[in-house]
Structure 1
């Protein structure tokens, strides 16, 4: 192959195009396969020759990251080896990921995906959610095993890369090694088990769709703890599963998966690591199972570039034009549309709609705050309490959703309407 053709082929390979498709494109440029001076086998030989120049895959990956650090001085990477000097774990995150973590790192989720490289090493992705409710990647790792020791090391590297900032909340699929690492490295973080994994486990352990449906309601329902207990034991008795080990174990761990126990802890709307499942599907478009470590890191970087471009697109959508106002509470809706990003506004707007069914039935003044009792139209047996300080700058609701989502609930919106507050940007934070 001529050097120009080899260079063009290598550039296309770096963009994720298969060798077969590259050959077809080069043949098309030449006016037909008969005009190409080399065969497909010659291309494969050139690729093999290029790889043979690499001293060793692990060392090449470390050398690549070292070269990248010359361009991005904030890039952080570390690795550990076993007793034989074989790479056991490699962690890295670039400067942009560190900036994202500084802003959005209060909630952290991580999960492992498999068969994304030629060694079949698990790939661990640390991620969160940004101001557009999009997945944002904080760091990545390649590991040869998922032991407690390795996960502890990974979280320690994440903590070091992020200058000691620990997350407020963490979501995982419930693997014992992950849970141990969180308790060791982030002892003050709220740990939540992924609802999606729990529902899938219920299907495999009990195998009754009706039970799975009831479990989902128990898990995600916005109940008081006493109501959850009543529903849980009623469900267990109805399906006769009280003696199942999985049921017994799940009840023991209820404080890390039941919404009734988690209410008031900030998770930014996270209930599952299913975002990671979506991230895996996007990653699969950029990385292939035959990639070595260097190729994997290069193409995973392309995946991050795509995700960051989607954030730029969402930024543009949020600042260009205004959404059509649909509720009767037009001043509050307009204020929210100007303050929130477009996606968060669409999450908040249903609160305005639901607030129409709420009313203030009582208000009691104290020295530093006023306590409002809220009832739902047609259901006077249900009530919530909203406290408002005398400066009207701090609102708290007994439903605790403001603490969990950082978005005002319908009960707080009801009080805003009662007080004739037309806009409240400080509250919308």
Structure 2
């Protein structure tokens, strides 16, 4: 008798498990690429981006505080939508290495959640006429002390799945170092070919996109299709929903936002290929800083400030004069796949930190595209304080910790070891 009861219970459990699996598949079918992006003021608003099949006729977002576990006080809104074709028929590659053309005509949805409360954790889900997404989360800003994870250059490429796995494992180490970090900042080249929408879809299924707001810059890889057949910032724009406060032609690609009392200004190097492009970007940055006071001013772009192999100046020469003029506290970049950190620099000289800009660029994080660094440096020895790389197989990320006295940046390796610490003093 007991044997029969046990068998029956096992059978029921299997049926329930299969049913739950089928339900989950049904819930996520037709809704994809869900990602939380910053609004201008992240203390009371947030942007949500997602895609849906063209067969779905209605799609809403439902959101509430995490503590409202039964969703009894939830709010629902439609957002805006348009038919997206920018990725369709782009030459691409499948995970098994097969060449193909992306089949990517879909409805792009954007929702601006407003009237949120500062220092809170929210949850949301996407509901359509035939399915419901998983539950996603984000936090709003407002804490006097806050932290974030900074990562870049992991070049998601499905035939080489380990790239994405290595980057997410690196984020696990940042989480172990600080389980309380509130959002993620990436500095570009998170996708190998930005025109391959299937790459974005795969990346957005990772757990860290379900738990955090992501802010980022457009890298050259994010801006390109396979073989550079087409280069456009539309790939980056349509895969996200960033504030539309950039200058002409760069709305939703170049943008600015506040997290707490820090102003983040996000640039697009792909629009700065000539002097005219640089001038347009710099005029915009000058205007943003003038009209948006903040304790900390942080400028982010993809291309490196210095070449990590030699120390030779790269984007630093273009921007140092304006950064001195505007009092930029921290300049962040990626691309070179070598971690480089300077002291605070003003008028070409390292200061005691009471004035000047600290320049930092992230290492790569995919364990594949790192760059070996010779020793010693040959240029800018007076400015560069620390470099790091593991060679071709490099994985690293930065933990950002901010309060009213200072910004602290801690470089971590794949094992969670602390390799470098930089502090940026508050000038206020």
TM-score by length of 1: 0.25
Q: Which has the larger radius of gyration?
A: 1
Structure that is richer in strand per residue:
2
Q: TM-score, normalised by structure 2?
A: 0.25
